[in-house]
Structure 1
Amino acid sequence: MAILSNSQASEEPRLDKPRHIKYWTRCLKTLLPHQYTGNDSNRLYLAFFIIGALDLLGALDSVPSAEERRDHINWIYHCQHPDGGFRMWPGTDFGPRATKDNALWDPANIPATYFALVTLLLLEDDFKRLRRRETLEWLPKMQRPDGSFGETLIDGQIEGGLDPRFGYCAAGIRYILRGLHTGPLALHGSKVNDMDVDSLVRCIRLAEAYDGGIADLGFHEPHAGYTFCSLGALAFIDRLEVSSQSNSTKPTGPSSPNAVIAWLAYRQTELTDPDAGIESEFAMADHESEANAGVSKISKLQQRAKVPAHQTAENSTGVTIFDLLVDGAGMSGRTNKVADTCYGFWVGASLHLMGQPGLYDHAALRRYLLGKTQHPILGGFGKFPGDVPDLLHGYLGLAALGLSGCDEVKELDANLCLSKDAHLRLPGLWESWQLSSAGV
């Protein structure tokens, strides 16, 4: 890569939008790199990243033709399971050869169903082919007695992990298909039961860590991705608690909103080298005088919000060319970890959900993403400075920019992780299903 001149280095880095559009067009219309072969059975989430990225870049109306958009929609419906929900890819569909014996090889999938629904939303589908009743009947069957959700249902047994990624996707499916309506629904002359919302809230609260973050399970290390999924799930079911002053009579979470907000605010860092030392202005919070005890923790964090954890030149053992040229601060996913592109979204979106978007330095995050992990040749974003781009970090990099005020990217809906334009189509669907926002 060519070394930038002093005048170029002093300029605010910008999104190379044409290059990004070219990257995502290539992902949509040609074969993906061979590294994605192992993800062949997870095509729906790859499709969501590609379609969602083009939408955030304002190119979804121009890159695929009208015929191609119809083909994309038809492909997604090819992944729809006859008993409700969606598969991650059509490769397990036995079609006319399907039997009870081979059904265990072809289950619907919770994450696949969420990705299918949001991608159809992006493509402006009318949802008339959606097996909505079957999907809503299938969804509560995916919830365990402890409130967690699995991934698939095989021979009546819930399979898959216990972590909040599945709870987030399940709550998102519920939100898209029934809004905020709680309790049984009458659909086509039959009653469709709801998931156990209270149980999901209790499950999330059990994974809260002592320092404010949220983990996959109780007593595990908190993680920004799990924290976002937990907060997002709570928002989808209208049980997110953003203030300790709540008088709600229903179970809500997190149990300590201020602790979660503080943990999230500490995640912004300039540290990009795992072997470097750090000087953190945030660390001073633990040693402040008792004279400041009357000042709320949130107020203190707001006063220091523009001072991310800093990696000094003398303490760094592996400064990259990106660090020398650009002053920026990304987000880390766990305590004492380096910045990583995707956490710009996981952490930033979590702070937006908690009603504290001002507790991170938006400009510093943009400089980190655009100056350090934006690929200067291929477009897209890599995980770390100098990395080649990939679909997950490419999309979440754009999503983080959509939250932090980048003019070249559409505004993002933090909860659904897609553009606000796409989210605005939901009320029309709810109205057609007689689920007006005023009535839920």
Structure 2
Amino acid sequence: MASPANPLHHPGAGAPPSTFEEATYRKVAWRLTPLLMLCYVVAYLDRVNVGFAKLQMTTDLNLSDAVYGFGAGIFFVGYFLFEIPSNVIMHKVGARVWIARIMVSWGVISMLTMFVTTPTLFYVMRFLLGLAEAGFFPGIILYLTYWYPAHRRGRMTTWFMTAIALSGVIGGPVSGYILKTFNGANGWHGWQWLFLLEGIPSIVVGILVFVLLDDRIAKASWLTPEERQLLESNIATEDAAKHDLPIRTVLASPRVWLMSLIYFSFVMGLYGVSFWLPTIIKATGVTDAFMIGLLSAIPFAAAVVGMVLVSRSADRKRERRWHIALPAVAGAVGLVLSVVWAHNTLLAMVSLTLATMGILTTLPLFWSLPTAFLAGTGAAAGIAMINSIGNLAGFLSPYAVGWLKQATAANDSGMYMLAAFMVLGGLLALSVPAKLVNK
């Protein structure tokens, strides 16, 4: 979690940072990053564990692939509706209270999903989970802008977002184990235990956030006065070059809409893999739930390595666009190959690993684009808008893959569609002016 090699003290400055500055940012990283990563691990686990629950609940509740895909995706409709107001509220009341509120409420709703008995109830609980979680991810992205200037933020965003991959590494085997071991205990199905047991950590971590997280640099009692002064000076210097535009202006900005479309494309790939990976692995001939969980951890473990290495390169070279576009193309290639090798478990796992590495690597680096030119309340609204529109792909992606799978009795069309969106996102990223984002 060390700071990028030889970053400049301020954008445009000519000397490397002092040992004191490096030590200060290292101290901040060790204080904030583990807690934020833990938050996202449990958040993402509660969001996508429905992919493992599907292995049993579709049979138990007689849900079709299209019904499952719609239910998995409707989460993002609730997410979309409350995203912008949630982020603006966080900017005003502070991350500590608001992030804690989000985590506790979504943990409770996730646990209650165990009582779903009909497609309608499944849709309702997924929609409510989206409402509860709205604002969490863009809130953290905004929160990082309070602490890190742009040339350090890419690395920290990547560390935070490796939690997506870590949740896959941890959640896959754990979810598979719960499904297999707890099925029938107390008269409940394995998928019911899955929602119950994996909702509890969100509530516990939400309480930790309320106790440990500081809203701003000025409130961090664990920093010395000299450290606070240094951090605030660096943020002030960067913010002076930005414009805190009115929310209405930000939401109408062509740049913000371009960012939304880029992110939409990448999220199509992300949730196509996240919600359907267990099903794809099962289709290669693996039937044991615990083994599916273990195999699903492999692509996410590899993605952690790819995310960290590529983000280091991007921060060191202060180049963003190609570091986003090339992994996007790699993700597309992996998705296509997963179809070509669909009936060979080893080759399918290789292609799914390439796809997952490429898709996940694009995401943290993408967020270095909009945060390079948004500030203040405008940043809160802009980041939330980009994330909410992008995450509509979280609704469309699993539903479209499920519908295509049901219509064609194969995964081929769905994976080709996701691959096309990854290529589109990479091309659009290259269209962003380099001088705007390479800082």
Q: Same fold (TM over 0.5)?
A: no
Of structures 1 and 2, the one with the larger relative CO (CA 8 A, separation 6+) is 2
Specify which structure has the higher proportion of helix: 2
Specify which structure has the higher proportion of strand: 1
TM-score (norm 1): 0.22
When Rg is computed on C-alpha atoms for both structures, the one with the higher figure is 1
TM-score (norm 2): 0.22
